[in-house]
Amino acid sequence: MPLNSHEIAQQRHLKRHLTFWRFMAVAVLIVGLIAVSAVSINNNSFSIRQQHIASIEISGIIYRDDRLLAQLKEIEKSDKVSGLIVIIDSPGGTVTGSEDIYLAIRKIAAKKPVTALMRGVAASGGYISAIAADHILASGNTITGSIGVIYQWPEYVELLNKVGVKMQTVKSAPLKAEPSGMVPLTDEVRQQVEISVKDSYDWFVGLVSERRELDMADALRLADGRVYSGRQALAENLIDAIGDINDAEDWLKNQLQQDDKTYQDLEIIDWTPPLFEQGSLNQFLKMEINALAGIKFFDINSGKNISSTGLMALMLN
């Protein structure tokens, strides 16, 4: 039955009110998150003027994160930071991103004690971050290991052929811009990719051997890409102990006392970049705004993506 003019006007009125309250809900959400973030920043700004233990979280896929690296640099330079707890929950990421974090943590460890605490997952590039510390703790069921390097790309040349698309390329040398999914993989290209992967793999295994004081033969035996539970990692000397945040704090306390530095129940202060600045929250806000408004204002896939042109150190399930 068709609606009369009064009913149509009433429906439009209700839709306008619904849209208004949706926007109000979004506005309140954004203002609240900004306020919480601002309070957190202000509290940290005050707290870091006192002597304390810093903590920082490395989570999700690892890539070059300038904000995280800047925080690590500040921790290194701060004379108010007595020690650092690196909390890791990551399946890995890019080789270069993992290397950046490793080097930054090693610079801190040259000046003050650093311990790593593995949470749910600290594999591949996540494990690289962990071995930068002087002491590694994990839960019994933490997933770690996955020591290895992988480089993947899609090959869709057959699909292009089926739809009648042919790519024409003029380049200075056969290996320029290879591998490419638009052309079949040649033996020469595969060989060059294998050389690059092997180079990064040797670097990774060398770090494991050096940092965990393992013979190269043992490091290679453990570096076949498999994952380990925290208990298995302890048995293989890939970590130092099963423990939690309290055990990490106790280890730092003992280290500071051995170094004749005063430890007076120092507060642990989180140096992780504020939530409101993180890309994951930006994505969350975009999704919430789209949902509340009932309109696709934002493309949630338009954020920063990891480039597939670099070697990846990702744990595969």
Q: Which of 90, 98, 124, 209 is catalytic?
A: 124
Catalytic residue among 15, 73, 77, 176: 176
**270 closest CA partner among 75, 126, 66:** 75
Q: Which residue has the tokens 């004690």?
A: 113
Residue predicted with more confidence, 47 or 19: 19
Residue 20 has pLDDT above 80, yes or no: no
3-state SS assignment for residue 242: strand
Residue 313 has pLDDT above 50, yes or no: no
Backbone angles phi, psi at 168, to 5 degrees: -105, 130
Please tell me the distance from the alpha carbon of residue 169 to that of residue 177, in angstroms, as a whole number: 10
In terms of Cβ atoms closer than 10 Å to its own Cβ (0-12, 13-18, 19+), residue 51 is middle
Res. 152: pLDDT tops 90: no
pLDDT for the residue 87: 98
Q: Is 176 a catalytic residue?
A: yes
Look at the domain 5-146+225-296+304-314 and name its fold: 2-enoyl-CoA Hydratase; Chain A, domain 1 (3.90.226)
Share the mean pLDDT of the chain. Answer: 82
Give 131-151 pLDDT, tens digit per residue.
Answer: 999 999 999 999 999 999 988
Is 112 annotated in the active site? no
Compute how many other C-beta atoms are within 10 angstroms of the C-beta atom of residue 311: 16
pTM, two decimals, is 0.74
Q: Give backbone dihedrals phi and psi of 119, rounded to 5 degrees, phi first.
A: -100, -120
Between 210 and 259, residue with greater pLDDT: 210
Which of the 8 DSSP states describes residue 277? G
Which of the residue ranges 47-56, 92-101, 135-144 would you say has the lowest mean pLDDT? 47-56
The amino acid occupying position 230 is G
Per cent of the chain over pLDDT 70 is: 70
Query: Residue 122 above 80 pLDDT?
Result: yes
Q: How many Å apart are CA 266 and CA 249, to the nearest integer?
A: 9
Of 22-26, 41-45, 72-76, which has the strongest mean pLDDT? 72-76
| Res 292 pLDDT > 60 | no
Q: Which letter does DSSP use for residue 91 in this model? A: -
Q: How far apart are CA 91 and CA 100, in angstroms?
A: 16
| pLDDT on residue 299 | 52
H or E segment at 33? Answer: helix 5-47
